[in-house]
A = this chain, B = another copy of it.
Amino acid sequence: MFSVKYLIYFSRQLLYNGHMKRILLTIEYDGANYSGWQKQPNVKTIQGEIEHAIETSIGQTVEVFGSGRTDAGVHALAQKAHFDLNVPVPVSKLPDILNNVLPPDIAIKDAQQVPDDFHARFSQKKKIYRYKIYNSPNKNAFLANRAAQIKQQLDVVCMQDIAQYLVGEHDFRGFCSAQTCTENFIRTIFSIDVARDGDFIKIDVCGNGFLYNMVRIIVGTLVDFSLGKLTKDDVLLALKTGDRARAGQTMPPQGLYLKDAIYQI
């Protein structure tokens, strides 16, 4: 049995099939009020809001494919996601059309047509995450959902020093959550850049892919090393043996920003 909605949808698909365009969206969001990227029943998610916005604004029921999931409370400066546009809407108008119906804490920054075989997740070459630490003993009400606070003074030189051992191709099973569902723990980290900006420390981690909680555990390892809670040997052993207990704490989600997903289109 098909509902009227689906009959309309399939008729439209037939009509515009020749005009199908694969669209890549660049999306900024404040993740504080969402249960993460991935659509789930009965909770607000970024994917759910975007699919709903596409349906209500241009009348097309779609699945939007993200470059990857982000957890509850995690933000994005530039999440990427693709979908197939089957209605005759100019691509350049899509950001304004969607922004008008999306909640104020989700913004479409760009829309562009990509080849039909492009996939936001499988075509990506690199992904960059930023982690933001508020390194101050003072409480700041406006950073509650925007950064992780570490009260003790951190040493960015020390953090950058230990980071170099994580750069390269490694088995990162010691640097992911026990909930990680994969058989291949090998990932390549291209760079880790640690920089202080006043009371803030920004850590940019660029890699070809990340395991569950991997960025938050890498950052927690740099922090715990700087605080003297871990030695260089602990970190090297966490890499070598894959023993999660040797690596650092899992930093909280609110400091994490998906900064970019990079493709060679």
Contacts and interface: CB of A to CB of B under 8 A. Distances in A.
A29, A108, A140: which has the most chain B beta carbons within 10 Å?
A: A140
Contacts of A23: none
A260 interface: no
Q: How many copies of this kind of chain does the complex include? A: 2
Interface in A137-183: 138-142, 144-146
B139 A107 contact: yes
Interface in A110-139: 138-139
A26 to B, nearest CB: 12
Contacts of A75: 142
A150 to B, nearest CB: 14
A18 interface: no
A54 to B, nearest CB: 16
Interface residues of A, number: 20
Contacts of A106: 141
Contacts of A104: 139, 141, 144-145
A144 B103 contact: yes
A104 B28 CA distance: 24
A30 B105 CA distance: 16
Interface of A: 28-30, 75, 99, 103-109, 138-142, 144-146
